[in-house]
Structure 1
Amino acid sequence: MTIKDIANVLEELAPLSFAEDFDNVGLLVGDINKTVNGILVTLDSLENVIEEAIAKKCNLIISFHPIVFKGIKKLTGKGYVERSIIKAIQKDIAIYCLHTALDNAIEGVNAKICDILELNKKRILIPKPGSLKKLVTYVPQEKSDDILEKLFAAGAGKIGAYRNCSFTVEGIGSYQADEKARPYKGTIGELHLEKENQISVVFTKDREHGIIRTLLKHHPYEEVAYEISTLDNPLSSIGMGMIGELSEPIDEKTFFEILKKKMNVSVIRHSAFLNKKIKNVAVLGGSGAFAIKSAKEAGADVLVTSDLKYHQFFEAESEILLADIGHFETEQFTKNLLVDYLTKKLPNFAISLSESITNPIKYY
Structure 2
Amino acid sequence: MLIKEVITIIEEFAPLEYAEDFDNVGLLVGDATEEIKSALITLDTLEATVDEAVAKNCNLIISFHPIIFAGLKKLTGKNYVERTVLKAIKNDIAIYAIHTALDNQHKGVNDMIAEKLGLINRQILIPRNDTIKKLQTYVPVPDATKVREALFRAGAGNIGNYDNCSFNVPGSGSFKGNEHSNPVVGQKGSVHFEDEIQIGITYKRHLESRILSALFQSHPYEEVAYEIHALENKNQHLGMGMIGELEAPVDARSFLLQIQKTFNSKGIRHSEILEKPIKKVAVLGGSGAFAIENAKRAGADLFITADLKYHDYYKAERKLVVADIGHYESEQFTKNLLYSFLTKKISSFALILADTNTNPIHYL
Length-normalised TM-score, structure 1: 0.97
Q: How does 1:296-311 map to 2 (within 5 A)?
A: 296-311=296-311
Question: What's the counterpart of residue 351 of structure 2?
Answer: 351
Deviation larger for 52-61 or 159-168:
159-168
- Amino acid corresponding to residue 309 of structure 1 in structure 2: K
Q: Which runs of 5+ in 2 are unaligned?
A: none
Task: Give how far 1:12 is off.
Answer: 2.5
The superposition leaves residues 167-224 of structure 1 with CA deviations (integer Å, 9 ceiling, x where unpaired) of 1122222222223222211222222222222111011112212111111111111221
Report the secondary structure of 1:164's partner residue: coil
Q: Distance in 1 between matches of 2:356 and 2:85?
A: 17
Q: 8 Å contact 2:176–2:192 — kept in the other structure? A: yes
Q: Does 1:109 align with 2:104?
A: no
Q: Does 1:213 align with 2:216?
A: no
Task: Give how far 1:78 is off.
Answer: 2.3
Q: 8 Å contact 2:36–2:349 — kept in the other structure? A: no
Question: What's the counterpart of residue 40 of structure 2?
Answer: 40
Q: Distance in 2 between matches of 1:21 and 1:182?
A: 45
Question: What's the counterpart of residue 181 of structure 2?
Answer: 181
Q: 8 Å contact 1:44–1:358 — kept in the other structure? A: yes
Q: Does 1:316 align with 2:304?
A: no
Report the secondary structure of 2:237's partner residue: coil
Question: What's the counterpart of residue 202 of structure 1?
Answer: 202
Question: What's the counterpart of residue 64 of structure 1?
Answer: 64
Deviation larger for 84-93 or 54-63:
84-93
Task: Give how far 1:95 is off.
Answer: 0.8
Question: What's the counterpart of residue 132 of structure 2?
Answer: 132
Q: 8 Å contact 2:132–2:231 — kept in the other structure? A: yes
Q: Distance in 2 between matches of 1:263 and 1:20?
A: 26
Q: 8 Å contact 1:343–1:349 — kept in the other structure? A: no
Task: Give how far 1:122 is off.
Answer: 1.5
Report the secondary structure of 1:237's partner residue: strand
Question: What's the counterpart of residue 259 of structure 1?
Answer: 259
Question: What's the counterpart of residue 340 of structure 1?
Answer: 340
Q: Distance in 1 between matches of 2:2 and 2:143?
A: 38
Q: Distance in 2 between matches of 1:225 and 1:43?
A: 47
- Amino acid corresponding to residue 229 of structure 1 in structure 2: H
Task: Give how far 1:102 is off.
Answer: 0.5
Question: What's the counterpart of residue 91 of structure 2?
Answer: 91
Q: 8 Å contact 2:39–2:351 — kept in the other structure? A: yes
Task: Give how far 1:348 is off.
Answer: 5.0
Report the secondary structure of 2:20's partner residue: coil
Report the secondary structure of 2:236's partner residue: coil
Report the secondary structure of 1:222's partner residue: coil
The superposition leaves residues 231-278 of structure 1 with CA deviations (integer Å, 9 ceiling, x where unpaired) of 111121111111111122111110011000001012111111111101
Task: Give how far 1:136 is off.
Answer: 1.0
- Amino acid corresponding to residue 142 of structure 1 in structure 2: P
Length-normalised TM-score, structure 2: 0.97
Task: Give how far 1:100 is off.
Answer: 0.5
Q: 8 Å contact 2:38–2:57 — kept in the other structure? A: yes
Task: Give how far 1:288 is off.
Answer: 0.5
Q: Distance in 2 between matches of 1:343 and 1:160?
A: 25
Q: Distance in 2 between matches of 1:121 and 1:136?
A: 33
Q: 8 Å contact 1:40–1:58 — kept in the other structure? A: yes
Q: 8 Å contact 2:27–2:95 — kept in the other structure? A: yes
Q: Distance in 2 between matches of 1:30 and 1:222?
A: 43
Question: What's the counterpart of residue 234 of structure 2?
Answer: 234
Q: Does 1:153 align with 2:141?
A: no
- Amino acid corresponding to residue 107 of structure 2 in structure 1: E
Q: Does 1:80 align with 2:80?
A: yes
Task: Give how far 1:359 is off.
Answer: 1.4
The superposition leaves residues 92-119 of structure 1 with CA deviations (integer Å, 9 ceiling, x where unpaired) of 1111111011001111101111111111
Task: Give how far 1:292 is off.
Answer: 0.8
Question: What's the counterpart of residue 11 of structure 2?
Answer: 11
Q: Distance in 2 between matches of 1:186 and 1:9?
A: 45
Task: Give how far 1:342 is off.
Answer: 1.3
Task: Give how far 1:336 is off.
Answer: 1.2
Question: What's the counterpart of residue 193 of structure 2?
Answer: 193
Q: Does 1:27 align with 2:27?
A: yes
Deviation larger for 183-192 or 335-344:
183-192
Task: Give how far 1:53 is off.
Answer: 0.5
Q: Does 1:295 align with 2:306?
A: no
The superposition leaves residues 55-90 of structure 1 with CA deviations (integer Å, 9 ceiling, x where unpaired) of 100011000011121122222222211221122112
Question: What's the counterpart of residue 327 of structure 2?
Answer: 327
State the 4+ residue runs in structure 1 displaced beyond 6 angstroms: none
Report the secondary structure of 1:86's partner residue: helix
Q: Distance in 1 between matches of 2:220 and 2:31?
A: 38
Q: Distance in 1 between matches of 2:193 and 2:28?
A: 52
Question: What's the counterpart of residue 275 of structure 1?
Answer: 275
The superposition leaves residues 145-171 of structure 1 with CA deviations (integer Å, 9 ceiling, x where unpaired) of 111111111111111222111111222
Report the secondary structure of 2:308's partner residue: coil
Q: 8 Å contact 1:175–1:191 — kept in the other structure? A: yes
